[in-house]
Amino acid sequence: MALTRKFLKALGLEDEKIEEIITAHSDTVTGLKDEIDKYKADAEKLPAVQAELDKAKASGGDSWKVKYDAIKDEFDTYKSESAAKEIAGKKRAALKQILADCKISEKRHEAIMKVTDIEQLELGEDGAFKDADKLSESLKTEWADFIETTTTEPTGTPTPPATVRSTDKEKEAEVIARVRTAMGLPPHETK
């Protein structure tokens, strides 16, 4: 049943009240018609939006995931390379210490490190090589020519002057006494 003026008169309403009701009703109906038109327009756009979404999914809508995976892989590679460099540095330092302990010439350390396969050596938790004693012995054997040795020679005793050219016996005795004192002997000979 529709809301009309005839219906409202049949209800016994005054003309003034009927006008107010009709005006309010037409405002409500107009607002509802505007909403219906808006929803119809949105419904007509839906197939185009759905087609665009399908196209985005088909052309790699997960591009953010691809970028994320690429960046993550790059970071993981960097992290592993950094850790490998750190371990290699620790191994080089430990090997240099062993070479120094073996008293191998410091001039030869770099040459020895170039020919030594440091990657095969294992570090312990204390930062030193596992089986350091065996490594030390093998280095001493292989590089024995470069081990520095120091020899100490005793210092010689100074030789007193061979002759004293003095005719004076007292001067001669005085010089002999000084020489004997310098050598750590008593100044005069005891008989």
Angle at the Cα of 155 from the Cα atoms of 149 and 157, rounded to 5 degrees: 165
Q: Which residue has the tokens 């960046």?
A: 71
Largest CA distance in the chain: 174
The answer to whether the beta carbons of residues 94 and 135 sit under 8 Å apart is no
Of these ranges, 68-72, 97-101, 160-164, the one predicted with the greatest mean pLDDT is 68-72
pLDDT value, residue 73: 94
For 115-130, what is the mean pLDDT?
A: 81
Indicate if the pLDDT at residue 188 is higher than 90.
no
pTM of the model as a whole: 0.44
| pLDDT at residue number 165 | 55
8-state DSSP, 4: -
Give the pLDDT confidence of 12-59 residue by residue, as tens digits: 888 898 899 999 999 999 999 999 999 999 889 889 888 888 887 777
pLDDT of residue 163: 60
- Residue 166 confidence (pLDDT) above 60: no
Between CA 8 and CA 4 the distance in angstroms is: 6
